[in-house]
Amino acid sequence: MALTDEFQALNKAFSGVGIDENSLISILGKWHPEERKSFRKGTPHFFKQDEHHFERWDDLHVKHLKHEFMRFKNAVVLWTMHSWERDARLVKEALKKGPQTYSVLVEIACTRSAEELLGARKAYHSLFDHSIEEDVAYHIDGPEGKLLVALVSAYRYEGPKVKDDTAKSEAKTLAHAIKNADKRNPIEDDEVIRILSTRSKPHLKEIYKHYQEISGHNIDEVCI
């Protein structure tokens, strides 16, 4: 690759969303000092000269690069660790950051299989000497905390069997709770929490189907 092409490749590697690590390693690893100097002079949007004519990185771009490299490092670390440990650490980080990241807890609790969620709970206990349920209850107050404790504690049935009569009855329970939401938050209702945290995904789909038949609304619309 010609030096001009390498300049362009390196410029691109530093410029986009994310960092092109392969280009950085393959190009910078073999450049001599004069080639690095030529690159600095040819990229004034990255480097600037101070009052002493010293070529230095622009501070804002250094900050950007640190952020991008940190994101790459975190992605690599998370991807290579055991999935149970990854989920446990993501839960811990979400609890530290606060309400804006509680969606992470919901995603992990609702998208993992029963065994995967149990594994994450085991990993959390080993890593932090607390249970996930304990820390969720401690950090999150109110009805949201009660629901999230129930979700992360769940060990759902994952088979295909669904009792239609039960699903229809529980759909009526949800419909009643949502209809009276102006009087009481639905997730303060123990029956609502039980349904959302213990029922299998096929069962929940049946509940939502019956809810739509009962109320005339899609449950996603009324719960936004």
97/70 same-domain check: no
128/166 same-domain check: no
Look at residue 50 and tell me if it is in a domain: no
Distance CA 72, CA 18 (A): 8
Confidence of residue 54 (pLDDT cuts 50, 70, 90): confident
Which residue, among 197, 99, 216, 208, has the nearest Cα to 150 in the 3D structure? 197
166/213 same-domain check: yes
pTM: 0.70
**Amino acid sitting at position 67:** H
- pLDDT above 90 as % of the chain: 56
| pLDDT score at 148 | 95
Q: State both tokens at 173.
A: 């329970």
* Owning domain of residue 23: 3-41+57-77
Mean pLDDT, the chain, whole residue set: 85
| pLDDT score at 14 | 65
Q: Are 151 and 110 in contact (CB under 8 A)?
A: yes
Backbone angles phi, psi at 49, to 5 degrees: -95, 135
86/139 same-domain check: yes
| Torsion of Cα atoms, 119 then 152 then 132 then 108, to 10° | 70
Least confident range of 48-52, 207-211, 218-222: 48-52
- pLDDT above 70 as % of the chain: 88
Q: What is the CATH number of the domain that holds 138?
A: 1.10.220.10
| pLDDT score at 64 | 72
Distances (CA, A) of 166 to 90, 172, 207: 35, 10, 9
Distance CA 155, CA 151 (A): 9
Look at residue 49 and tell me if it is in a domain: no
Average pLDDT over residues 14-39: 70
Q: What is the pLDDT of residues 152-188, one digit of tens each?
A: 999 999 999 999 999 999 999 999 999 998 999 999 9
Question: Which of 69 and 76 is assigned the larger pLDDT?
Answer: 69
